[in-house]
Amino acid sequence: MKHRAVLPLCLLLAAALAGFPLSAPAEGAPPASAESAAEASGTPGAESADGPETAAEAASGPESPGAESPAPAESPVMLRNGGSFLLAVREDGSIIGWGDNRRGQLGMSAARVHTRPVAAAEGIDGNALKDIQCGNNNTLFLMKDGTVYTCGTYSHGTQGLGKLDRIVKTPTRIPALSRIVQVSCGFGHNAALDGDGHIWVWGRNDLGQLGTGNRKSLDEPVMLELENIVDVTCGGKFTLARDAEGREYGWGSNAYRVLEDSSRKEILSPVPLTGLEGLRVVSFAGGSDMAFWLDDQGGLWSRGRNELKQCGSREAAWKTSPNLTRVDIPEKVAAIIGYSSVPIALTEDGNAYIWGCTTNGQIGKGNNPGASFPEKGWDTGDCVQVAAGSIFTSLMDADGRIWVTGYNSYGQLGNGTTSATFHWTWNGTNVRQTGDPAEEAKAALEAEKAGGK
């Protein structure tokens, strides 16, 4: 079961935490397995009516994606970062985004950079959406009816739509997947968990990150032999999973001994993880070459690559930390995002700690330390969601405002420029807005300036 952090009242929006929902992904899921690619009709990736349908095509039919599920009582709000882009779901269910869309990562027909918030994820109804997960250059949309839509780069078979020679600009359904309860993206590889506890994988596999026993990349999802899985997550170059009995598994890159303390550089098939004995794990996350485990007391643990302090422990002073070590955060952790080499942790007190390769202002304190132990980058106690991209970070406060800091060459800060900032900056976006995202952000900033705030 996933960790359900006891947060202050102002933090109730954290039920949709970026990358790590606090509720169990498989809880209450219907006991049905995913259909095979052979059962899906049409040619994968084709734009004809016989191929996988886009979200816009589905919406034009009798019902939109996920329409079998009733409208949720809870807010659909969520915040997700990809490599150089950001997606957010507003309270009214509309989806906005900004940053790099040259490969279709934002799910928009206009495949270019957007430095201001724009309407994104064409055809996807945010109220029917269960989760969004982003990789470097691809995005997965998990609907409440268990279907999965994809957009972005086609390299290494990342889209799961069969052989492609083009980017996927708008969200398109993956025919091989149904009754899915959880999805995750790595650096080119993807994983999905179905209601029967089976893992489906596709995409890049040069380091064994798909766990299929070889290094062959896959352009369509295949099911692994693991059973009774309740949680799965992709690190940058590896994958982690946990079963209903609490057993942890891993596969993929082991160059920095994140999976096991051995000389094996790649682990091509799932193996039980050791060194976690006695730790009551409630969730986990993977970065580029390091991994994190959150225990039931709010303690955070790590191992793996560490020359830039990305393991977050002063005890782990070596370049590789094969032994589990406690991350130096004095507050109870509610969620952890391990993207790339800059982890960010949300605490139960509503603060955000950031560490690792912070050379581009990702901490948001105006400094550029290069390598940092965990630092309280956000300390006002009103942070409800956090997200991390390759070299920028973002968060949402209790008022629904989205704050950004770091690298900005592709407009990923959404402030209308491509200039970096080392300080947390509100770009005018609020998830409570309902109109044109760019115009409302601009108006909000002008009003703030006029009010002298």
pLDDT at 37: 32
Q: pTM for the whole thing? A: 0.86
State in Å, rounded, how far the first CA of the chain is from the last one.
43
Does residue 400 surpass a pLDDT of 90? yes
User: Hey, what CATH topology would domain 9-450 get?
Assistant: Methylamine Dehydrogenase; Chain H (2.130.10)
268-312 pLDDT tens trace: 999 999 999 889 999 999 999 999 999 999 999 999 998 888 999
DSSP letters for 343-370? -EEEETTS-EEEEE--TTSTT-BS---S
35-49, 285-299, 319-333: which is most confident: 285-299
pLDDT at 260: 92
pLDDT at 313: 82
Amino acid at 123: G
In which band, very low, low, confident or very high, does the pLDDT at 449 lie, cut at 50, 70 and 90?
A: confident
What is the mean predicted confidence (pLDDT) over 154-176? 96
pLDDT at 421: 93
Residue 354, beta-bridge partner list = 344, 375
pLDDT at 54: 80
Cβ 16 vs Cβ 178: under 8 Å: no
99-152 pLDDT tens trace: 999 999 999 999 999 999 999 999 999 999 999 999 999 999 999 999 999 999
**Long-range contacts, stretch 166-170, CB < 8 angstroms, 24+ apart:** 167/103, 167/104, 167/111, 168/45, 168/104, 169/104, 169/107, 169/108, 169/109, 169/111, 170/54, 170/55, 170/56, 170/104, 170/107, 170/108, 170/109, 170/122, 170/123
In which band, very low, low, confident or very high, does the pLDDT at 1 lie, cut at 50, 70 and 90?
A: very low
| Domain segments of the chain as ranges | 9-450
Does residue 60 surpass a pLDDT of 80? no
Does residue 220 surpass a pLDDT of 80? yes
What is the mean predicted confidence (pLDDT) over 169-183? 98
Give the Cα separation of 215 and 223 in Å (integer). 16
In which band, very low, low, confident or very high, does the pLDDT at 318 lie, cut at 50, 70 and 90?
A: low
Does residue 203 surpass a pLDDT of 90? yes
In which band, very low, low, confident or very high, does the pLDDT at 372 lie, cut at 50, 70 and 90?
A: confident
Amino acid at 436: D
In which band, very low, low, confident or very high, does the pLDDT at 258 lie, cut at 50, 70 and 90?
A: very high
pLDDT at 75: 73
CA atoms lying within 13 Å on the CB side of residue 233: 27
pLDDT at 150: 98
Question: Quick one: which of 179, 217, 77, 192 has its CA closest to 133?
Answer: 192
What is the mean predicted confidence (pLDDT) over 90-98? 97
61-89 pLDDT tens trace: 433 333 333 434 467 899 999 999 999 99
What is the mean predicted confidence (pLDDT) over 341-369? 92
What is the mean predicted confidence (pLDDT) over 331-341? 93
Q: What percent of the chain has pLDDT over 90?
A: 72
pLDDT at 256: 92
Helix (H) or strand (E) segment spanning residue 442: helix 437-450
pLDDT at 319: 67
3-state helix, strand, coil in the chain (%, to 5): 10, 35, 55
**439: phi then psi, degrees, rounded to nearest 5:** -65, -40
pLDDT at 197: 98
**Mean predicted lDDT score pLDDT of the chain:** 85
pLDDT at 48: 36
Bigger pLDDT: 35 vs 117: 117
